[in-house]
Amino acid sequence: MMTTTQGTDARLATTFCGMPFNSPLVLLSGCVGFGEEYTRVEGFSNEDVGAICLKGTTLAPRLGNPAHRVYETPAGMLNAIGLQNPGARYVVDEILTRLDFKETRFIANVSGSTVEEYEEVTRIFDDSPIDAIEINISCPNVKEGGVAFGNSPDMSARVVAACRRATRKPIITKLSPNQTDIAENARRCLEAGSDGFAVINTLMGMAIDSERRRTVIGNNQGGLSGPAIKPIALLKVWQVYQVCKPHGIPIIGQGGVVSATDVIEFMLAGASAVGVGTGLFYEPLACRALNDGVADYLTRHGFASVRELVGALQLNSPPAPVATVPG
């Protein structure tokens, strides 16, 4: 059941890669299926979110990883779903036809095991009503022994360049924190044609059952999300923002958002929009409260729009050097 809220605070409206958003909030890939599952939740309003990212999609259908796929950890969650999906052609021909593109923006999430697969899936979505394409470059490159595309600036740029050739739609590159220099990766992806970034993807982690002396996740390791990763995500957003700011390239900041304060912090660090993912498992209708909290902050601090928050972080002065004592 979808409802429409009239009179949503106009100060929350923004744009991302040219797309109008009712709110800076974006529902993240993998947390709301292909959109239609979540928008049927009673009480959901399309006015509460700016966009919905669809589940990760590959060229051919995938069954995903063996169980267990999800495990709750202190202040977070491990997941190793394994990109279970029905394939790009089915998504475009069957699922997208059931979505109402007048109600909100829908962003496809493209995954692949080769550069050629990324390019082909992007081309399929290019010939669809999808509003933008998010590239998940955290997938393993089968031609390079399983090294994740996102861990190498060279491979990341190759994927972005290939996808750029395949579409005229906005490309949002989802950056992995599991790399040495995320700012350099962002710079290379920007040069290759990325229109925006999503920062960050999950951190790799493991859960162990000590009684059984076995790993809990069927895939042995999984992606850690939730409040536990927020401090890392804030730093990575700020680092990528330094690359993006001169070029006006927007960022979706994400990682552990469960409160309006979290949303505001990500925007201050440089995010133009803020993703909500694992928090939806705790509170499926959290977005309305998040929006209300952000609106209250704007009122209390005299801001006319959420756009004024982007990159407004003030850094402390560098610490004074430690004095040395002779002798």
Q: How far apart are CA 320 and CA 9, in angstroms?
A: 44
Q: How far apart are CA 100 and CA 121, in angstroms?
A: 22
Residue 211 is predicted with a pLDDT of: 97
Q: Is the pLDDT of residue 3 over 50?
A: no
Residue 198 is predicted with a pLDDT of: 98
Q: How far apart are CA 271 and CA 172, in angstroms?
A: 13
Cα 252 to chain centroid, rounded: 6
Residue 42 is predicted with a pLDDT of: 76
Q: How far apart are CA 9 and CA 12, in angstroms?
A: 6
Active site annotation includes 163: no
Tens of pLDDT, residue by residue over 191-240, are 999 999 999 999 999 999 999 999 999 999 999 999 999 999 999 999 99
CA distances from 165 to 95, 113, 116, 161, 263 (A): 25, 18, 11, 6, 34
For residues 284-309, one letter each, b for 16 or more C-beta atoms within 10 angstroms of the residue's C-beta and e for the rest, the string is: eebbbebbebbbebbeeeebeebeeb
Kindly tell me the sign of the dihedral angle through the C-alpha atoms of 99, 88, 120, 271.
positive
Phi, psi of 322 (to 5 degrees): -75, 125
Please give the full DSSP string across 27-84, using - where no structure is assigned. Answer: EPTTTSTTSHHHHTSTTEEGGG-SEEEEEEE-SS-B--PPSP-EEEETTEEEE-----
Q: Is the pLDDT of residue 327 over 90?
A: no
Averaged over 61-90, what is the pLDDT?
95
Residue 33 is predicted with a pLDDT of: 87
Q: Is the pLDDT of residue 7 over 60?
A: no
Q: How far apart are CA 224 and CA 246, in angstroms?
A: 31
The answer to whether 223 touches 80, Cβ cutoff 8 Å, is yes
Q: How far apart are CA 301 and CA 295, in angstroms?
A: 10
In the block, residue with structure tokens 């933008």: 132
Residue 5 is predicted with a pLDDT of: 41
Q: How far apart are CA 281 and CA 265, in angstroms?
A: 21
We find that the CATH architecture of domain 2-309 is Alpha-Beta Barrel (3.20)
Residue 287 is predicted with a pLDDT of: 95
Q: Give the single-character DSSP code of 206.
A: -
Catalytic residue among 17, 139, 163, 287: 139
- Strands 140-141 and 147-148, by their bridges, are antiparallel
Tens of pLDDT, residue by residue over 274-290, are 999 999 988 989 999 99
Tens of pLDDT, residue by residue over 150-176, are 999 999 999 999 999 999 999 999 999
Residue 169 is predicted with a pLDDT of: 98
Residue 40 is predicted with a pLDDT of: 73
- Nearest CA-CA partner of 23 in 290, 248, 300: 290
Q: Is the pLDDT of residue 6 over 70?
A: no
Residue 47 is predicted with a pLDDT of: 86
Q: Is the pLDDT of residue 254 over 80?
A: yes
Q: How far apart are CA 271 and CA 288, in angstroms?
A: 19
Averaged over 256-261, what is the pLDDT?
98
Tens of pLDDT, residue by residue over 86-124, are 999 999 999 999 998 988 999 999 999 999 999 999 999
37: confidence class by pLDDT, cuts 50, 70, 90: confident
324: confidence class by pLDDT, cuts 50, 70, 90: low
Residue 323 is predicted with a pLDDT of: 53
Q: How far apart are CA 210 and CA 118, in angstroms?
A: 39
